[in-house]
Structure 1
């Protein structure tokens, strides 16, 4: 895990992660969130939907953005202010999700960063959006 301060950030910085979606991840997210929609949990039910099988929760995929923000860019100390999400395609068990976060804008007042966020599967965008985060300043050397 790395921690960046506001002064370390520049527009265009990017971090990413890869995550293979497993059935246990979906079940765990359902237990954590309380969202037990059978589209996520029941093979028989999901087979009869337009998706033809179980899919991951959209917010599970979005939570992978939070993993990048909280551990890589900007990292520990960053606090979410807002997040927009656009869902474009389902994520299925076994899919490898590539999540990227890029610094799109820096606002000195309040030490805020606007981040472009994107998740892809096999090069196809499944989710995108924008996050605003507060980023801690570099500690004073005299503190």
Structure 2
């Protein structure tokens, strides 16, 4: 899997309006592994011949595999080790395809200093900067104090 930091803003990391953007793309082998692990063997994800007959014309990445990019960001990058992922909403707006580059953008919307929590906007954009996923996460970490 390709995964790389694209940009961040100058806002302090523990305050509202802090932003990070990561570029990523999924490989077909990762989609196949997710299908096996999750038990979601829907051919729209793993069978090119089947997918060609659908509205998408090619296999699409599982929505929850796409959304898992935020777990990687929160647990390993920002805020990082020690993060407790409390909730996540997701709305899938367009398909995600194997081998295409996407950007995952997080924006801290609110910080609750008493509970060490933050509400974070979670968005994914395709190479044309069309939003393909939108959501909101609540995370807890000592950085938010």
Q: State the TM-score, normalizing by the size of structure 1.
A: 0.86
Give, in angstroms, the shift of residue 137 of structure 1.
5.5
Q: 1:25 aligns with which of 30, 33, 40?
A: 30
Separation in structure 2 between the aligned mates of residue 62 and residue 10 of structure 1, nearest angstrom: 23
| SS of corresponding position for 2:20 | strand
Runs of 4+ residues over 3 Å off in structure 1: none
Separation in structure 2 between the aligned mates of residue 128 and residue 111 of structure 1, nearest angstrom: 24
Match of 1:57 in 2: 62
Higher Rg of the two aligned structures: 1
By relative contact order (CA 8 Å, sep 6+), the higher-ranking structure is 1
Q: Does 1:97 align with 2:102?
A: yes
Does the Cα contact within 8 Å between 2:14 and 2:143 map onto a contact in 1?
Answer: no
Give, in angstroms, the shift of residue 129 of structure 1.
0.4
Give, in angstroms, the shift of residue 77 of structure 1.
0.7
Does the Cα contact within 8 Å between 2:79 and 2:143 map onto a contact in 1?
Answer: no
For 1:1-143, list aligned pairs within 5 A.
Answer: 9-122=14-127, 123-136=129-142
Q: Give unpaired runs (5+ residues) of structure 1.
A: 1-6, 139-143
Separation in structure 2 between the aligned mates of residue 90 and residue 19 of structure 1, nearest angstrom: 15
Q: 1:56 to 1:132 in 2, by over 3 A?
A: same
Does the Cα contact within 8 Å between 1:21 and 1:97 map onto a contact in 2?
Answer: no
Q: 1:9 to 1:26 in 2, by over 3 A?
A: same
Q: How many aligned residue pairs are there?
A: 132
What's the Cα RMSD here? 1.6
Separation in structure 2 between the aligned mates of residue 73 and residue 102 of structure 1, nearest angstrom: 11
